[in-house]
Amino acid sequence: MKKNYIKEFIQSKLKNKFIKNFLTLFSGSLLSQIILFAFIPVLTRLYSEEIFGLFFIYSSLTAILRVVASLRFEQAIVLPKSDADAINLLVIAFVINTFLNLFFFFLICLFYDIIIDISGEDNIGNWFYYIPMSSFFLGCFEIFSYWNNRLENYKNISFSKICKSTTTGSSQVLLKYMSLQTSGLFIGLIIGQFISSLYFGLLSIKSITINLKYLSIKRSIILLKKYKDIPLYNTLLTSFNTISNQIPILLMAKYFGSESAAFYGLANRVIMTPMGLISQSVGQIFFKTASDIVNQKKQLFTFVKKTYINLLKIAVLPVIIIFVSTYFFDIFFGSTWSKAGYYTRIMLPWLLIAFLNGPISWLIIVLNKQKFISLLDFILLVFRYFAIFLSYKLMFNDTTAIFMYALVGFLFGIFMFFYLISISKSNTKNYN
């Protein structure tokens, strides 16, 4: 009887569309993150802290450029009711991603010395030229991800994430043994980005081809006007947020050395491995479900409240595991990486509230609240910058700088929690 009860319970849960989609996406994300995490102890023993610091700088600059070069227009793919509109938005997003990354590549070629002087990141050298390429591949991956999210093809998303982790990690390891002492991390990353975006495109080609008949220049112009707030405001919003999240690596490298940047980068990756995969999986499904709720003029608050409660329940075990594991970083990653464990403990409260808010923050796009949040994220960016800059100027150490940065993020997260609850009650969509 007990076995039958368990079987019936599981079957009843799988009938819930949200849970079924979440499990499909989560299982793929979990496997991809396990693969990625399995490579980290190998890579930390193959490459030095200094090289990792430069690698994290490259990744941070790529993340920032990707937001600007795509104008975040791929997010609009999920929003319209019809696939006919969605395919037009997909093509618009691809055109934007292609031309803006080419534009930034030519800018780097023309003004390389000036850009190096302004950014102060001359230590990554000629890898600056490859940042637009990485940005383009990541942009393509995101476009296909939102398209498949719209169609609820979560298996495609899962397989592509697994492909990305596997090809990136294996390439980085193999290239080290091919005598690429300093380049393996960078080239391996680019290989993984290219292969995974190509694979994702092949998985999506059939569903895209079927809808190409709906392409229309006239309709595309109408949709550009309708969703203009996404490139106008959400690009700013996401840019500020991305820079805020990446600024510790850039500033820690500048003020406290590339090794400090490496410790922060590893700490951030360790936390985001178990928690990020849950947040991303829930977030993609939450975005689609919340868009449907608003389109159907139903109530959002109950769905938001339930999602917050479930996220809090899910977070308990990963937080405990992460906290305990921080005392064994020297065993997991090598004796020189123990300080990254201390960084992780400092950052954990901030990243917990960020984990809870992450999926729910899609309400900002669904309810078109980008204008207000763009201002808030700019203020957050300023406070985060001064948290690290003043720590350096006042001659505090690197751990104090990380603590101040995390404290700012934690307080902002508390504010966002109450704000997201508030706007979920209004349930007003402002796309005209």
The predicted-structure confidence for 189-218, as pLDDT tens digits, reads as follows 999 999 999 999 999 999 999 999 999 999
User: Do residues 403 and 346 lie in contact, with contact meaning Cβ atoms separated by under 8 Å?
Assistant: yes
Regarding whether 301 and 198 lie in a shared domain, the answer is no
Regarding whether 272 and 140 lie in a shared domain, the answer is no
Regarding whether 57 and 176 lie in a shared domain, the answer is yes
Regarding whether 255 and 223 lie in a shared domain, the answer is no
Asked if the structure places residue 2 within a domain, the reply is: no
Q: Which domain holds residue 157?
A: 17-227
Q: Got the DSSP string for 263-306? A: HHHHHHHHHHHHHHHHHHHHHHHHHHHHHHHHHTT---HHHHHH
Regarding whether 277 and 221 lie in a shared domain, the answer is no
Q: Got the DSSP string for 32-80? A: HHHHHHHHHHHHHHHS-HHHHHHHHHHHHHHHHHHHHHHTTGGGGGGSS
Q: How far apart are CA 211 and CA 193, in angstroms?
A: 26
Q: Is the Cα torsion angle 81, 84, 88, 93 positive or negative in sign?
A: positive
Distant-in-sequence, close-in-space partners of 36: CB < 8 Å, separation ≥ 6: 165, 168, 169, 273
Regarding whether 258 and 179 lie in a shared domain, the answer is no
Regarding whether 282 and 391 lie in a shared domain, the answer is yes
Mean pLDDT by 10 residues, the chain (432 residues): 46 59 77 87 89 88 88 88 93 95 93 71 76 96 94 90 94 84 88 96 95 93 88 75 84 88 87 74 82 83 90 88 90 89 92 90 84 84 93 91 94 94 74 50
Regarding whether 210 and 269 lie in a shared domain, the answer is no
**Number of domains composing the chain:** 2
Q: What is the pLDDT, as a whole number, of residue 245?
A: 80
User: Do residues 93 and 70 lie in contact, with contact meaning Cβ atoms separated by under 8 Å?
Assistant: yes
Asked if the structure places residue 237 within a domain, the reply is: no
Q: How far apart are CA 129 and CA 282, in angstroms?
A: 35
Q: What is the pLDDT, as a whole number, of residue 7?
A: 47
Regarding whether 202 and 98 lie in a shared domain, the answer is yes
Asked if the structure places residue 12 within a domain, the reply is: no
Distant-in-sequence, close-in-space partners of 251: CB < 8 Å, separation ≥ 6: 385, 388, 389, 392, 401
